[in-house]
């Protein structure tokens, strides 16, 4: 009998001091999310999971333990101690044996923390690779780029769940929503988002087929929900590295057109020329064309598209900013094809796993 592999991995900066054992243990707890309630002000060294690792598991790597014994020594309840040990076993760092026909005896895999972490890393890479095979057949997005491609401005640190593949375990969910939950795309408490027809499932299914980025307002209309909820759903997709948030440069001309028409109605042509950036970024013929069409009420985004084609992206951004507008953002799969997305996530995962291996070796030496 074994516990199903299930863990949550977070990309955490290495501690400032790599020589202090307590710092390394705290970093390990944070990276593997072994403590549900993490407070920046609290002293992590006094928490049960830190004490368990520091004074028992890592201090005596070749010893086995039972939950009742550890609960007594650390003065915590048996259910709480059992929870911590099960989490460690689910990650693969620890295992257990019930050969004594009594309490389970828990121990480090390979009787060393660096071996246990290496086992976790191997499992994480294998499971993640298998997971991506699921969406390969569902992928229909084409290798279509926007006219101006901009990388994600502020990518989030990687946070990804690693749950081994299994048959559909709950008839209230679908293969897709179970897959999304296994990778953490539904957050820690998915609730009704686990249902096959949930907004999360509809939005992600659309992204597997959609070439251009999906804006929050488009997602809200698609699912019949309010924009804040659509925004929260899309933001939950990002930490996994599967979805990115990018500037919708395909809407740049439309955004400038909208800002120009609004400011023309509010402040008039003189403001557009002096404070709205016309004199700074547009030549005389472009200004004459825009103002003439504004006066005749027939300016359209296609006119702006032709005019800003002579500007670089930064100049277009600044013009939009002076006009009081802003470039919209959208969400899309983080690569243009399945293989590129898998490679992207693999690279980010490997970077985090290398940190784990490094900390594991330092803890073994300590």
- DSSP labels for 119-148? HHHHHHHHHHHHHHHHHHTT--------SS
The reply to whether 170 and 194 lie within a common domain is: yes
pLDDT of residue 282: 93
Please say if the pLDDT value at position 275 is more than 50: yes
Per-residue pLDDT reduced to its tens digit, 86-106? 999 999 999 998 766 667 899
| Domain termination residue (choose one: 225, 247, 269) | 247
Please say if the pLDDT value at position 116 is more than 70: yes
pLDDT of residue 123: 93
How many CA atoms lie within 13 Å of 126's alpha carbon, on the beta-carbon side?
10
The reply to whether 202 and 258 lie within a common domain is: no
The reply to whether 262 and 361 lie within a common domain is: no
pTM recorded for the entire structure: 0.86
Per-residue pLDDT reduced to its tens digit, 211-257? 889 999 999 999 999 999 999 999 999 999 999 999 888 889 999 99
Q: Is residue 275 part of a domain?
A: yes
Q: Is residue 292 part of a domain?
A: yes
Count of structural domains within the chain: 3
The reply to whether 154 and 112 lie within a common domain is: no
Query: In the predicted model, what is the mean pLDDT of residues 26-38?
Result: 86
Per-residue pLDDT reduced to its tens digit, 195-204? 999 999 999 9
Helix count (H) and strand count (E) of the chain? Answer: 16, 6
Q: Is the dihedral of CA 204, 209, 215, 219 positive or negative?
A: negative
Q: Is residue 338 part of a domain?
A: no
The reply to whether 232 and 286 lie within a common domain is: no
Q: Is residue 150 part of a domain?
A: yes
The reply to whether 151 and 190 lie within a common domain is: yes
Token pair of 12 as six digits: 């955490």
The reply to whether 17 and 119 lie within a common domain is: yes
User: Which pLDDT band holds residue 288 (cuts at 50, 70, 90)?
Assistant: very high
Please say if the pLDDT value at position 362 is more than 50: yes
Q: Is residue 329 part of a domain?
A: no
Contacts for 132-135 with beta carbons within 8 Å, 24 or more apart?
132/338, 132/341, 132/342, 132/345, 134/175, 134/179, 135/179, 135/208, 135/338
Q: Is residue 299 part of a domain?
A: yes
The reply to whether 318 and 356 lie within a common domain is: no
The reply to whether 242 and 255 lie within a common domain is: no
The reply to whether 145 and 48 lie within a common domain is: no
The reply to whether 118 and 160 lie within a common domain is: no
Q: Is residue 130 part of a domain?
A: no
pLDDT of residue 171: 83
Asked whether 300 and 257 are in contact (CB, 8 A), the reply is yes
Q: Is residue 40 part of a domain?
A: yes
| Domain termination residue (choose one: 231, 247, 263) | 247
- The angle subtended at Cα 177 by Cα 175 and Cα 183, nearest 5°, is 105
| DSSP string computed for 133-190 | HHHHTT--------SS----SSPPPPEEEEE---S---TTS-HHHHHHHHHTTT-S--
Q: Domain of residue 57: give its range.
A: 6-125+352-365
Token pair of 202 as six digits: 């509809």
Q: Is the dihedral of CA 164, 50, 353, 1 positive or negative?
A: negative
Average pLDDT, the chain: 90
With H, G, I as helix, E, B as strand and everything else as coil, classify residue 341: helix
The reply to whether 170 and 107 lie within a common domain is: no
């Amino acid at each position: 009998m074994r516990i199903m592999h299930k863990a949550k991995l977070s990309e955490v900066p290495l501690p400032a001091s790599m020589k202090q054992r307590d710092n390394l243990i705290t970093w390990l707890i944070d990276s593997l999310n072994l403590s549900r309630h993490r407070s920046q002000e609290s002293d992590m060294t006094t928490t049960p999971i830190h004490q368990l690792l520091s004074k028992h598991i890592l201090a005596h790597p070749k010893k086995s333990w039972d939950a009742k014994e550890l609960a007594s020594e650390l003065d915590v309840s048996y259910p709480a101690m059992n929870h911590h040990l099960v989490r460690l076993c689910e990650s693969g760092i620890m295992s257990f044996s019930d050969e004594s026909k009594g309490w389970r005896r828990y121990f480090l895999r390979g009787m060393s923390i660096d071996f246990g972490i290496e086992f976790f890393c191997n499992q994480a890479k294998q499971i993640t690779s298998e997971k991506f095979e699921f969406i390969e057949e569902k992928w229909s997005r084409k290798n279509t780029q926007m006219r101006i491609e901009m990388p994600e401005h502020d990518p989030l640190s990687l946070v990804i769940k690693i749950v081994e593949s299994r048959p559909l375990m709950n008839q209230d969910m679908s293969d897709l929503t179970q897959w999304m939950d296994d990778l953490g795309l539904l957050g820690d408490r998915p609730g009704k988002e686990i249902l096959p027809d949930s907004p999360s499932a509809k939005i992600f299914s659309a992204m597997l087929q959609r070439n251009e980025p999906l804006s929050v307002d488009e997602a809200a209309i698609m699912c019949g929900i309010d924009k804040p909820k659509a925004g929260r759903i899309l933001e939950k997709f990002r930490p996994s590295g599967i979805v990115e948030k990018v500037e919708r440069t395909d809407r740049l001309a439309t955004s400038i057109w909208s800002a120009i028409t609004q400011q023309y109605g509010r402040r008039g042509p003189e403001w557009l020329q002096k404070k709205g950036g016309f004199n700074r970024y547009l030549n005389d013929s472009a200004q004459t064309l825009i103002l003439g069409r504004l006066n005749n009420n027939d300016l359209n985004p296609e006119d702006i598209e032709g005019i800003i084609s002579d500007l670089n992206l930064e100049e277009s951004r600044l013009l939009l900013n002076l006009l009081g507008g802003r470039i919209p953002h959208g969400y899309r799969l983080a690569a243009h094809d399945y293989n590129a997305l898998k490679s992207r996530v693999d690279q980010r995962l490997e970077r985090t796993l290398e940190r784990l291996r490094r900390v594991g070796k330092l803890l073994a030496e300590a």
